[in-house]
């Protein structure tokens, strides 16, 4: 699979159409040291059950995004579709954190295979 940095919206849509892998747009794009990165921002609000960032369901005991949470799938899918290699995952609220997440080829291969299988078994028979 060719992985070239995104040239913009046309690349993003073209990749999605060619592979039938649908992704969503990231919250922001950021250029760091002449390299484009994705930025995904999650805002949280202090509640009785979530007074600290460590109480968020998607943060592990080390303050990192859980690799089993949907937000991690979201980040990796965005990296896959965009062709970018890096994402800054920002949690912002009463406390904030920034985690640097790199493209995970093995994880994205699994995502691509599951998407292809879903398309072949569910959408293609319907004429999509």
Of the chain, the percentage scoring pLDDT greater than 90 comes to: 34
Q: How many helices and strands, by DSSP H and E, does the chain display?
A: 3, 4
Q: Would you tell me which CATH number, out of the four given (3.30.70.270, 1.10.1040.50, 3.50.50.60, 3.90.320.10), belongs to the domain 9-126?
A: 3.90.320.10
Across 19-28, 38-47, 51-60, 61-70, least confident range = 19-28
Q: What is the phi-psi region of residue 49: left when phi exceeds 0, alpha when psi lies from -120 to 50, beta otherwise? A: alpha
100 and 76 Cβ atoms separated by less than 8 Å: no
Mean pLDDT calculated for residue range 12-17? 51
For 49-71, what is each residue's pLDDT tens digit? 777 888 889 999 898 999 999 99
Mean pLDDT calculated for residue range 7-11? 44
Residue 53 confidence (pLDDT):
84
Q: Kindly tell me if the per-residue pLDDT of 87 is higher than 80.
A: yes
82 and 32 Cβ atoms separated by less than 8 Å: no
Mention every residue, 6+ apart, whose C-beta is less than 8 A from residue 16: 22, 23, 81
Tokens matching residue 52:
């600290």
Residue 7 confidence (pLDDT):
42
From CA 31, how far away is CA 120, in angstroms rounded?
A: 37
């Amino acid at each position: 699979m060719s992985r070239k940095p995104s040239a913009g919206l046309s690349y993003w849509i073209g990749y999605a159409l060619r592979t039938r892998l649908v992704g969503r747009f990231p919250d922001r794009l950021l250029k760091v040291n002449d390299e484009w990165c994705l930025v995904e921002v999650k805002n949280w609000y202090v509640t009785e059950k979530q007074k600290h960032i460590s109480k968020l369901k998607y943060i592990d005991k080390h303050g990192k995004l859980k690799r089993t949470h949907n937000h991690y799938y979201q980040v990796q899918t965005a990296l896959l579709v965009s062709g970018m290699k890096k994402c800054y995952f920002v949690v912002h609220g009463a406390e904030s954190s920034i985690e640097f997440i790199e493209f995970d080829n093995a994880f994205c291969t699994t995502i691509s295979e599951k998407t292809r299988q879903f398309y072949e078994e569910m959408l293609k028979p319907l004429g999509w």
